[in-house]
A and B are shown apart, each in its own frame.
Chain A
Amino acid sequence: DGGITQSPKYLFRKEGQNVTLSCEQNLNHDAMYWYRQDPGQGLRLIYYSQIVNDFQKGDIAEGYSVSREKKESFPLTVTSAQKNPTAFYLCASSILSGTSLLRPHNEQFFGPGTRLTVL
């Protein structure tokens, strides 16, 4: 079955440690995204990538880093520079707009999320 996987579902880390969240998709999507969700707030865009070896900052990229070495994978590293890293992190993917006559808009498919708690 095609889909997006994120692991682990729950992650605990000590303050000051870097941590990497995994996101893998087998949908053959070009674009991938990372969002962060905090209680009472909408999801916010951290980083996105439209093509391998290229990525762009979203609204809240400070303290995070990403890589896109393979089309299927878009890992997110939460660095010690991120002041308040405890949150729910969602990965998503989509085809690029205009690349399909059947789906001209970028419908996004979401992973199950990783809940990160920094102690």
Chain B
Amino acid sequence: KNEVEQSPQNLTAQEGEFITINCSYSVGISALHWLQQHPGGGIVSLFMLSSGKKKHGRLIATINIQEKHSSLHITASHPRDSAVYICAVPYSGGGADGLTFGKGTHLIIQP
């Protein structure tokens, strides 16, 4: 079973700061997911990536398959970015047997 470690667990920053959240996993994977969870509980998929880098608006996700590490960056952070960000990888590395999740990073962006 894959194990996922995320850091930091909590992060408070000022509006406009550059944010980095890190994720490490133990077993080689087919793809890694970055998810966003708002206070109501609903989860939105931000990225699914298997190599290199992806960008969507102010969000950038990178992955290093050899080092089993991924980062999520937020540029020009805004209070509406405040949420829990979760990294997830396939339960056993690949296939459709579910995901293993990190504990999440609770991000607060202060105006």
Report A's interface with B, CB cutoff 8 A. Answer: 30-31, 33, 35, 37, 40-45, 48, 50, 56, 58-59, 88, 90, 92, 94, 96-97, 104-110, 112-113, 115
Contact = CB atoms under 8 A, between A and B. Distances in A.
A5 to B, nearest CB: 12
A88 B40 CA distance: 11
A112 B45 contact: no
A58 B100 CA distance: 10
B33 A108 contact: yes
A56 B102 contact: no
Nearest to B49: A105
A115 B103 CA distance: 18
Nearest to B30: A105
A106 B94 CA distance: 8
Contact of B98 (A58, A104, A107, A115): A58
A42 B43 contact: no
7 contacts: A35-B98, A42-B4, A42-B86, A43-B101, A58-B98, A88-B41, A96-B96
Given A56-B97, A94-B96, A113 B41 contact: yes
A104 B48 CA distance: 11
A104 to B, nearest CB: 8
A23 B6 CA distance: 29
Interface residues of B, number: 29
Contacts of B40: 112
Contacts of B95: 97, 106
B23 to A, nearest CB: 11
Contacts of A107: 31, 33, 45, 48
B56 to A, nearest CB: 14
B30 A45 contact: no
Contact of B30 (A30, A37, A97, A112): A97
* Complex A-B, nearest 6 residue pairs according to Cβ-Cβ distance, in ascending order: A42-B101, A105-B31, A110-B43, A45-B98, A43-B101, A31-B96
A105 B41 contact: no
B26 to A, nearest CB: 14
